[in-house]
Amino acid sequence: MSVGNSSVDFLSALWNFSVEDGVEESGARDRAEEHKRTVHALLSVSYSIIIIISLFGNAVVCHVVMKSKRMHSVTGIFIMNLAIADILITLLNTPFTLVRFIYSTWVFGKAMCHVSRFAQYCSVHVSVFTLVAIAIDRHQVVLHPMKQRMSRLQGVVWVGVIWLMATCFSLPHAIYQSLLHFEIGEGNVRTVCLPSFPQPSDLFWKYLDLTTFVLLYVLPLTIITIAYVVMAKKLWARNAIGDVTLAQSYAHQRRKRMTMKMLIAVVAVFAICWFPLNCYVVLLSSKVIQANNGVYFSFHWLAMSSTCYNPFIYCWLNHNFRAEIRLLSLIGHQGKISSQQT
């Protein structure tokens, strides 16, 4: 395996150093250091906000799904799977990306070089496969309401299949990672973790990223979009089967539409947040654009921020989720009062 020239160019911008670091004029170096400290502070704050909100919000989602009997449905299982995927990428990728930029070197060793890359791709693949599974399940419910729904056991099996598929598709990205050491100035050695593909490495990188983008982003989102468009037309055009009064019909339709809005919002947030980074990586590996440090981290931050939004979407558009949050808060408050009284 070897590292192509495009990888080295990408490396130079991504890791924020150049071979001329040691020969800068004093004034320019001072200004560069001040600018670097400002950027580091902004990145530290922005990434820390993502990590805190994502971990707390998705932990609450998992807790609500496990504790609430009303959430023990196939959709609930898939929602919990999305939360677990978000926790995975928050713990095993986001902090490492921040630290590697601040220190301009990889300090976590060879194993984490592979694990961090794997976590990013596996989490994204799990999320997109889960969104497809939700769309298929909802399509069955809306278009064929009289047919038997997917059982919870089948939902759990599908979750296992999703993780297996995501792992298989993520392995090439995780396996072809290497630690490289660059000497910058006298005695200043920096270690970097970056893709290292078989020859011809540039073509391998290009077509791997392009295939990943088409098969694991564009195609699934196209399937999801078609499914939800078909469902929306059916849902907005008919009354629920078995409704005996106008009030019942209105309530039934309103619940289904709110569920549709919630799921569409989840898909839209995921697609929007990950689109810029996916396009950037594809264009970079195809040598259409040059690597740019600021652009990369802006797009990466936007992609990582996708892990924060789902809990707010559930609270906003899902009555059962809001009710369970209030119930858990009430139980926690009562437990605190009881402990104080004893």
Identify the pLDDT of residue 304: 95
| pLDDT score recorded for residue 18 | 41
The band of 117, judged by pLDDT with boundaries at 50, 70 and 90, is: very high
pLDDT tens digit sequence for 288-310: 998 888 898 899 999 999 999 99
d(CA 60, CA 150): 25
Q: What is the DSSP string of 101-165?
A: HHHTS--SHHHHHHHHHHHHHHHHHHHHHHHHHHHHHHHHHHH-TTSPPPPHHHHHHHHHHHHHH
Report residue 7 as tokens: 């990888």
Q: Give the pLDDT of residue 292.
A: 85
| Assigned token pair, 271 | 């697609």
More confident residue, 82 or 38: 82
Which tops the pLDDT comparison, 273 or 336?
273
Tens digits of residue pLDDT in 36-53: 788 889 989 999 999 999
Asked if 197 contacts 173 with a C-beta cutoff of 8 angstroms, the reply is: no
The predicted model gives 41-66 an average pLDDT of: 93
Bridge-based pairing state of the strands 177-183 and 189-195: antiparallel
pLDDT at 156: 95
Most confident range (mean pLDDT) of 3-12, 26-35, 223-232 is: 223-232
Average of per-residue pLDDT across 149-169: 95
Angle at 228 between CA 150 and CA 244, to 5 degrees: 70
Q: What percent of the chain is predicted at pLDDT more than 70?
A: 82
> What are residue 191's DSSP bridge partners?
181
Q: Round the average pLDDT of the chain to a whole number and report it.
A: 84
Peptide bond into 172 cis (omega under 30): no
Domain boundaries, the chain: 5-11+31-235+258-326
- The lowest-confidence range among 9-23, 137-151, 197-211 is 9-23
Give the pLDDT score at 338. 57
CB-CB contact of 265 with 252 (8 Å):
no
Tell me the C-alpha distance between 276 and 295, whole Å: 10
Does residue 184 surpass a pLDDT of 80?
A: no
For tokens 């609500």, what's the residue?
Answer: 64
With H, G, I as helix, E, B as strand and everything else as coil, classify residue 198: coil
Q: Give residue 252's pLDDT.
A: 66
pLDDT reading at 326 higher than 50: yes
Q: Please name the residue ranges forming H helices in the chain.
A: 5-14, 26-67, 74-92, 94-103, 109-143, 152-175, 201-213, 219-237, 246-285, 293-317, 319-341
Q: Name the more confident of 12 and 295.
A: 295
Evaluate if residue 185 carries a pLDDT over 80.
Answer: no
**Looking at residue 335, what is its pLDDT?**
57
- Residue 330 scores a pLDDT above 80: no
Task: Please indicate whether residue 17 or residue 71 has the higher confidence score (pLDDT).
Answer: 71
What is the mean pLDDT of the segment spanning 240-246? 54
Specify the CATH architecture of the domain 5-11+31-235+258-326: Up-down Bundle (1.20)
pLDDT of 273 strictly over 80: yes
Least confident among 62-76, 139-153, 189-203, 226-240:
226-240
Residue 149: partners with Cβ closer than 8 Å, 6 or more residues away: 74, 137, 140, 141
pLDDT in tens, 16-34: 444 444 445 556 777 777 8
293-317 and 74-92 helices, crossing angle to 10°: 150
Cα distances (angstroms) measured from residue 239 to each of 135, 145, 193, 243, 302: 21, 12, 56, 8, 40
For helices 26-67 and 94-103, angle between their N-to-C axes, nearest 10 degrees: 170
Backbone angles phi, psi at 213, to 5 degrees: -65, -45
Written as six digits, the tokens of 242 are 């078995």
Rounded Cα distance between 314 and 86, Å, is 15
pLDDT, residue 221, reads 94
